[in-house]
């Protein structure tokens, strides 16, 4: 089953096929950035899964901010 992407253009909604990115070759810099982002996501998930760490983090951030 294909994934669908919904886009809004002014007052119309358009459904498209999810783009096939399997043939895209990323540059070394893109790979580094994606890895760094994956590390950030793993860090945030670890904080959210640990109630003690999550409570400590909530004291440090401003209202409306999340990990």
Quick: pLDDT tens for 20-34. Answer: 889 999 999 999 999
Helix axes 28-49, 51-60, angle to 10 degrees: 110
Low-confidence residues of the chain: pLDDT under 70: 1-2
Residue 6: phi, psi to the nearest 5? -105, 130
Q: How far apart are CA 39 and CA 42, in angstroms?
A: 5
Query: What are the C-alpha distances in Å from 51 to residues 38, 48, 60, 61?
Result: 22, 7, 15, 16
3-state secondary structure of 10: coil
- Whole-model pTM? 0.62
Instruction: Tell me what pLDDT residue 27 has.
Output: 97
Instruction: Tell me what pLDDT residue 40 has.
Output: 95
Instruction: Tell me what pLDDT residue 2 has.
Output: 66
């Amino acid at each position: 089953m294909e994934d669908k992407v919904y886009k809004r253009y002014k007052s119309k909604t358009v459904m498209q096929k999810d783009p096939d990115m399997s043939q895209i070759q990323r540059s070394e810099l893109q790979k580094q950035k994606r890895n760094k982002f994956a590390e950030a996501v793993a860090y945030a998930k670890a904080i959210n899964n640990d109630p003690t760490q999550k409570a400590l983090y909530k004291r440090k951030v401003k209202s409306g901010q999340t990990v």
